[in-house]
A and B are shown apart, each in its own frame.
Chain A
Amino acid sequence: MVSKKFFIQKKLNAAEQLLSIQNAKCNILDKKIEKTQLTCLIELQPTSYSRSYKIKLKYDINTSHRRKVKVWVVEPQLKYPKNLMDIHVWPKERDLCLFYKGEWTPMKKIGETIIPWTAKWLYFYEAWEVTGKWLGGGIHPTPRSTKKLN
Chain B
Amino acid sequence: MIKRDIDNLLIKLSQSLDISTTEFKNAETSYNYVGKYLGEGRYTGIEQDCTIPVYPQGSMKLGTVVRPIKDGKESDFDIDLVFELPTSTARTTPNILKSEVGNRLRANGRFSNKLEESRRCWTISYNNFHIDVLPCVKESEFSDVIKISDKRSTWKESNPKGYAKWFKKRSDLSEERMVSLANAMDSRANRGNVKIEEVHKFIRRSVLQQVVQLMKRHRDVRFIGKDDKPISMIITTLAAAFYEGELSIYEALCTIAKKMAKLDYWLDMSSLQYYKELQSNSVRALSNSMDENPSITITRNADGLWFLPNPVDPNENFADRWHENNNAKANAFFEWVKAFQIDIKNLFDFASQKRGLKYITENLIGSKWGYDASQRTAIYLAEEMKNTSSYFTGVGVAPVIGSTYKSIPKNTFYGE
Is B379 touching A90 in the complex (CB atoms < 8 A)? no
Which B residues contact A (CB, under 8 angstroms)? 1-2, 4-6, 9, 350-352, 354-358, 360-362, 374-375, 378-379, 381-383, 385-386, 390, 392-398, 406, 408-416
Q: Report how far A66 CA is from B415 CA in the complex, Å.
A: 11
Is B412 touching A27 in the complex (CB atoms < 8 A)? no
Is A103 touching B354 in the complex (CB atoms < 8 A)? no
Is A47 touching B5 in the complex (CB atoms < 8 A)? yes
Chain B residue, CB-CB nearest to A84: B415
Contacting B at CB under 8 A, from A5-64, are 24-27, 43-52
Measured between beta carbons, the chain B residues less than 8 angstroms from A129 are: 356-358
Measured between beta carbons, the chain A residues less than 8 angstroms from B6 are: 48-49
Measured between beta carbons, the chain A residues less than 8 angstroms from B381 are: 127
Chain B residue, CB-CB nearest to A150: B386
Q: Does A69 contact B (CB under 8 A)?
A: no
Is A131 touching B375 in the complex (CB atoms < 8 A)? yes
User: A43, A46, A99, A100: which contacts B397 (Cβ < 8 A)?
Assistant: A46
User: A99, A119, A126: which contacts B412 (Cβ < 8 A)?
Assistant: A99
Is A116 touching B360 in the complex (CB atoms < 8 A)? no
Is B386 touching A24 in the complex (CB atoms < 8 A)? no
Is B412 touching A103 in the complex (CB atoms < 8 A)? yes
Which A residues contact B (CB, under 8 angstroms)? 24-27, 43-52, 66-67, 85, 88, 90, 97-101, 103-104, 112-113, 115-117, 119-121, 123-124, 126-127, 129-131, 133-141, 146
Measured between beta carbons, the chain A residues less than 8 angstroms from B357 are: 49-50, 126-127, 129-130
Is B415 touching A50 in the complex (CB atoms < 8 A)? no
Is A66 touching B416 in the complex (CB atoms < 8 A)? yes
Told that A121-B413, A130-B378, A140-B414 touch, could you supply 15 new A-B pairs with CB distance under 8 A? Answer: A43-B395, A51-B356, A98-B413, A99-B412, A100-B412, A119-B397, A123-B396, A124-B382, A127-B381, A129-B357, A130-B357, A135-B382, A135-B386, A140-B415, A141-B414
